[in-house]
Amino acid sequence: MEHTTTVCDPYNLAPSSAAVPSDDRRGMISEAAYYLAELRHFAPGHELEDWLLAEKQVDAVLASARRGA
């Protein structure tokens, strides 16, 4: 059985009816975090910050897509 993550609307915190497979979401976050690190020329010490910001960005994009925006 595949694990899924429910995407939440960051404005009203109502869970979306659609779910994204957790492996896909993790891959999107990983790629976004890589590009954030690349913008800093991969300076060390910001890995967690990059990951958390990427997580917020990906979740916002997914929530927006679920709303049809």
pLDDT digit string (tens) for the chain, length 69 residues: 555 554 444 444 445 445 789 999 999 999 999 999 999 999 999 999 999 999 999 999 999 988 885
Domain region containing 17: 4-67
CA triplet 63, 17, 56: central angle to 5 degrees?
Answer: 25
What is the structure's pLDDT at 4? 55
Question: What global pTM score does this model have?
Answer: 0.70
For the residues of 40-62, what is the DSSP string, one character each?
TTT-TT-HHHHHHHHHHHHHHHH
β-pair partners for 48: none
**Number of domains comprising the chain:** 1
